[in-house]
Amino acid sequence: MESDVSQLLLITDESPISAKMLAHYEQLYYKVLVAEDLQLAMPLLHKHAVHLILFFYDPNIAQQTALLKDMLETFEEIPLIVITEVVTALDVTDLLAMGITSVFSLPLDRQQSLDNCVARHIRHAKLFFANRLYRQQLEQTNRRLNDSLAELERDQQAGRSMQQRLMPPEHSQRNGLTIQRHIQSSLYLSGDFVDHTSLADGSVLFYLADVSGHGASSAMLTILLKTLTRGILADQQLEQDQSVAIAGIMSRLNKEIMDFDVNKHVTMFMGLISADRSILTYCVGGHYPMPVLYQQQQLSYLEGLGSSFPLGLFPEAQYQSLQQSLTDDFALLLCSDGVLEVMSNDQQEDQEALLLDLLRNHGCNIDGLVSGLQLDKRQQLPDDIAVLSIEGNAHE
């Protein structure tokens, strides 16, 4: 027989048959513990990992029956084979009804049958204990995982709060302009970001950026982007006597992102509205869709689609500034490509036309876009969504 390191508890007195049984199972390479009675067996069961109990049972001792029932209740997962002097089927039935696994009668003339029964029940017990250990380990792993997820969720919520605080208020007034923003994340943290600021000459600079990917790494780059932009703005205004070159800012940002080597790229639309609100100077860094401009009852996309590459891809990328005249009634709406992800049509040209129709019917502003696409009713999004709306003073 193959070696077996399973542990067996033999509960018996010191009779010759008991000694023979002990020697027999030790020869079969079982590790055998011995207890002279049930009371002495209980501490051994608490202390050792026992796979099977062999008990020489005397039904004439009333105390044994009570102790046996107690053992069966306490260690119900351990198979228990009784060897006893029983003569009727009713005796066997009573023992099995108590929870005994198997019953063998004395004199023991079926040793091989007993050995097979012992081996079978030990295999089952080992499988039971292995499964229980696996479940316990799985439960511990799940608890640790849940704790880690809870901590990650807290971190993500803190990061979300920080990211939101770094953005301008949802509703702002700058130099006679009404500026609103709307952000919806597919995860806790967003790879989309908007910002705007007033410059010393009264002009207003703004941008919408969409970082590739999702989650914390993309969100961190949006925070870096804000810091870099504000630093570049300060440098340009000092160097050029308060003037700001949009294309120069984009080129500097592209170089800075390349230097950080974060394996991310950024699509961006950056614009500058003059102090008298008559000229929009803008630069496109691979951004899509183009902003929608409404003025003098006309609705159209700004020109310049594909005029420059996203930031962070090519160190030699060149960026150019474009201009658009503005009237007092203008309304400019910028959005990230996450807006197109929630539209039903997959064709780019059709999506652009659908977006124009939606804004024409619901209004070229954040409220119109949100209601038209029912963004406020969507619990899950395929991509982050960022919207920036800027309106002239005729809308006040």
* pLDDT for residue 395: 58
Closest to 78 in 3D by CA, of 28, 24, 41, 112: 41
Structure pTM? 0.68
DSSP one-letter string for 149-184: HHHHHHHHHHHHHHHHHHSPPSEEEETTEEEEEEEE
* pLDDT for residue 351: 86
Per-residue pLDDT of 265-312, as tens digits, reads 999 999 999 999 999 999 999 999 999 999 999 999 999 887 789 999
Closest to 57 in 3D by CA, of 23, 24, 6, 101: 101
Cis peptide before 289 (omega within 30 of 0): yes
Please state, for a pLDDT cut of 90, what percent of the chain lies above it: 42
Closest to 296 in 3D by CA, of 248, 330, 264: 330
* pLDDT for residue 233: 87
Per-residue pLDDT of 143-190, as tens digits, reads 999 998 888 888 777 777 787 888 899 999 999 999 999 988 777 777
* pLDDT for residue 243: 55
* pLDDT for residue 394: 59
Per-residue pLDDT of 203-249, as tens digits, reads 999 999 999 877 777 888 888 888 999 998 888 765 554 457 899 99
Closest to 6 in 3D by CA, of 107, 85, 124: 124
Using only the alpha carbons of the chain, give its radius of gyration: 39
Options 3.20.20.10, 3.40.50.10140, 3.40.228.10, 3.40.50.2300; CATH of 7-136: 3.40.50.2300
Closest to 348 in 3D by CA, of 339, 213, 93, 203: 339
Task: Name the average pLDDT for the chain.
Answer: 87
How far is residue 200's CA from residue 278's CA, in Å, rounded to a whole number? 17
Give residue 106's pLDDT band: very low, low, confident or very high (50, 70, 90).
confident
The answer, yes or no, to whether residue 4 has pLDDT greater than 90, is no
* pLDDT for residue 242: 47
How far is residue 255's CA from residue 308's CA, in Å, rounded to a whole number? 14
How far is residue 216's CA from residue 359's CA, in Å, rounded to a whole number? 32
* Residue where the block lists tokens 């069966």: 72
Per-residue pLDDT of 377-388, as tens digits, reads 777 787 888 999
DSSP one-letter string for 228-243: HHHHHHHHHHHHTTT-
- Conformation bin of residue 248: beta by default, left when phi > 0, alpha when psi is -120 to 50: alpha
Per-residue pLDDT of 35-74, as tens digits, reads 888 888 999 999 998 999 998 888 777 788 888 888 999 8
Domain residue spans in the chain? 7-136, 167-395
* pLDDT for residue 349: 67
How far is residue 266's CA from residue 207's CA, in Å, rounded to a whole number? 12
Closest to 28 in 3D by CA, of 145, 122, 91, 104: 122
* pLDDT for residue 348: 65
The reply to whether 167-395 shares the fold of 7-136 is no
The answer, yes or no, to whether residue 262 has pLDDT greater than 90, is no
- Conformation bin of residue 312: beta by default, left when phi > 0, alpha when psi is -120 to 50: left
How far is residue 365's CA from residue 25's CA, in Å, rounded to a whole number? 86
The strand pairing partners of 80, in sequence order, are: 53
How far is residue 319's CA from residue 251's CA, in Å, rounded to a whole number? 6
The tokens for 204 are 């207003």
Per-residue pLDDT of 351-367, as tens digits, reads 888 999 999 999 899 99
Q: Which amino acid is at 206?
A: F
Per-residue pLDDT of 7-32, as tens digits, reads 999 988 767 777 888 888 888 888 99
* pLDDT for residue 16: 76
Cis peptide before 107 (omega within 30 of 0): yes
DSSP one-letter string for 189-220: S-SEEEEEEE-TTS-EEEEEEEESS-HHHHHH
* pLDDT for residue 218: 84
**Which top CATH class is 167-395?**
alpha beta
* pLDDT for residue 3: 38
* pLDDT for residue 60: 76
